[in-house]
């Protein structure tokens, strides 16, 4: 299915240009974060629980974050059981310094 890279809308097969913004349609949208935010790795954590705690702390400061774990599990199958798979947490590049501080503070309290 063709997609518009600007509107991120899906269109009927055969269309070449977006009816809304006239951009050339692409076959597949690039894997993109919401609002095209550039996310960077903040921490790798031993479990999803820690990641969710950190995500909660970041949210209170208004910093969006993404928790990733599945791709790591595939890359390193030797980690074994899924409960022990390390989880990574990603934050917008411009918030990484603030996020570091929040993460450090949180780790002190665990
Ligand atoms: Zn468009």
Q: Which domains does the chain have, with CATH numbers?
A: 1-32 (no CATH), 34-108 (3.30.70)
Residues with C-beta atoms within 5 A of ion ligand 1: 4, 6-7, 18, 20-21, 23
Q: What's the rounded Cα separation, in Å, for the pair 15 and 3?
A: 9
The confidence score (pLDDT) of residue 83 equals 47
Distance 32 CA to ligand 1 centre (A): 16
In the chain, the DSSP E strands lie at 39-45, 66-68, 87-92
Cα 3 to middle of ligand 1, angstroms? 8
How far does residue 31's CA lie from ligand 1's centre (Å)? 17
Angle at 13 between CA 30 and CA 37, to 5 degrees: 20
* Residue-level pLDDT at 8: 85
Question: What does pLDDT average to in each consecutive run of 10 residues of the chain (110 residues)?
Answer: 89 92 86 68 88 94 88 50 70 95 83
């Amino acid at each position: 299915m063709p997609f518009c890279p600007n509107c991120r809308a899906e269109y009927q097969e055969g269309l070449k240009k977006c009816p809304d913004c006239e951009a050339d349609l692409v076959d597949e949208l690039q894997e993109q974060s919401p609002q095209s935010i550039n996310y960077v790795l903040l921490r790798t954590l031993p479990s999803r629980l820690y990641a969710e705690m950190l995500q909660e702390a970041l949210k209170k400061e208004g910093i969006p974050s993404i928790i990733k774990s599945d791709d790591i599990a595939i890359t390193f199958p030797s980690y074994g059981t899924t409960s022990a798979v390390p989880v990574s947490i990603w934050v917008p590049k411009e918030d990484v310094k603030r996020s570091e501080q929040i993460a450090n503070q949180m780790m002190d309290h665990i």
